[in-house]
Amino acid sequence: MKIRVAVSLKPGVLDPQGRAIQHSLEGLGFSGVRDVRAGRLIELDVADDTSDAALDEMCHKLLANLVIENYRIERVAA
Amino acid sequence: MIGSFRAAVVTFPGSNCDRDMAVALEAVSGTPPLRVWHGDVELPERLDLIALPGGFSYGDYLRSGAMAARSPIMRAVVDAAARGVAVLGVCNGFQVLTEAGLLPGALMRNAGIRFVCRDVTLTVENTASRFTAGYCSGQRIAIPVAHHDGNYFADEATLDALDSEGRVAFRYAEPVNGSSRAIAGVLNAGGNVLGMMPHPERAIESAHGGSDGRALFESVIGGLVNA
């Protein structure tokens, strides 16, 4: 089973990388980009019987730092 | 007396200030520290101080310090910290301590995006801790920084608690990396764990261009010997 974990900075946490990307987009002539937030996409291939609780635990223990980040788990249809 | 001081320096794959830390500890205590590898599951017995050095452990994969914080030796470090053993984390070592949950907050990419490598001025905020007793309150000291992810972040409630409990050990006296409330170093609630981004081990003799870091090692070593 394929799982995608999207890790993103919490709202309100300054994202210097996102801001730099925004400035670069402006430099390329793209107008109207109000905000950019950069995150991380982690793809896992796990046993089919892996529970939601186990996936949550993976995020809490390693994949995300909950001091600054949120995560979203998505089960990808085969 | 000082010869009985027992320190250990932990080396992770990608640590690069472990030797600097060992040299500083030996220069001040007179005893070379023991060396511990990240894959070890036990620390040497009767340690007075555990030092987590700077560097780029595990290539900063996932997040700075994240992989090192889950390495086998860190379980022993967490246990030792709970028993009151002094733990000093510098730069990447500070990142490891926050990722391991031994210190609150997180260290994010510098607000200015760039790697910052220069001497900075710090203000000593807390002179009651075993790491900072050798400084004067409000003293300004020059210590080098060299980091990309030194932007200290914690929520407002945590920052208020750190301030009210006197757990901010050092603040930057100049703009460096965008840290919340200019925090450069924090203590745990017990006062036995210190994490800081600046490198005191790179400022212990005049040949380094300054020796303002020496008092930190003298504090923690002297305090333990006299305890």
Q: Looking at this protein, which amino acid is placed at residue B196?
A: M
Q: Looking at this protein, which amino acid is placed at residue B135?
A: Y
pLDDT(B146) > 90: yes
**The pLDDT value given to residue A12:** 87
Sheet strand arrangement including A2-9: A40-45, A2-9, A69-76
Mean pLDDT over B124-133 rounds to 96
Q: Is B147 exposed, middle or buried (0-12, 13-18, 19+ CB in 10 A)?
A: buried
Predicted-complex ipTM score: 0.87
**The pLDDT value given to residue B96:** 98
Cβ atoms of A16 and B112 closer than 8 Å: yes
**Mean pLDDT of all residues in chain B?**
95
Residue length, chain B?
227
Number of domains in chain B: 1
- What is the domain-level CATH number for residue B157? 3.40.50.880
Interface test with A, best of B58, B61, B63 (most A CBs within 10 A): B63
What string of DSSP letters covers B154-182?
A: --HHHHHHHHHTT-EEEEESS-SS--GGG
* Domains (range + CATH), chain A: 2-76 (3.30.1280.10)
**Residue B188 CB coordination number (10 Å):** 16
Cβ atoms of B193 and B87 closer than 8 Å: yes
Residue A65 with chain B: CB contacts under 8 Å: 63, 66, 99, 106
Cβ atoms of B20 and B202 closer than 8 Å: yes
**Residue B140 CB coordination number (10 Å):** 12
pLDDT(B150) > 90: yes
Mean pLDDT over B144-170 rounds to 97
Longest dimension (CA), chain A: 48
What is the torsion angle, in degrees rounded to the nearest 10, for the CA atoms of residue B109, residue B55, residue B114 and residue B141?
Answer: 100
* Helix, strand, coil shares, percent, chain A, to 5: 30, 30, 40
Q: Cα(first)–Cα(last) distance of chain A, in Å?
A: 7
Longest dimension (CA), chain B: 46
| Residue from B204, B192, B178 nearest B89 by CA | B192
**Residue B34 CB coordination number (10 Å):** 15
The residue of chain B nearest to residue A17, with distances taken between CA atoms, is B113
- Specify the pTM: 0.94
Q: Do B153 and A68 touch (CB under 8 A)?
A: yes
CA B174 to chain centre: 20
Q: Which is it for strands B49-52 and B86-90: parallel, antiparallel or unpaired?
A: parallel
**The pLDDT value given to residue A78:** 66
Q: Give catalytic status of residue B147 as yes or no.
A: no
Q: Using an 8 Å CB-CB cutoff, list residues of chain B that contact chain A.
A: 62-63, 66, 70, 98-99, 104-106, 108-113, 151, 153-155, 178
- How many interchain CB pairs under 8 A, A with B? 37
Spot the catalytic one: B17, B91, B125, B208.
B91
Domain that holds residue B147: 2-226
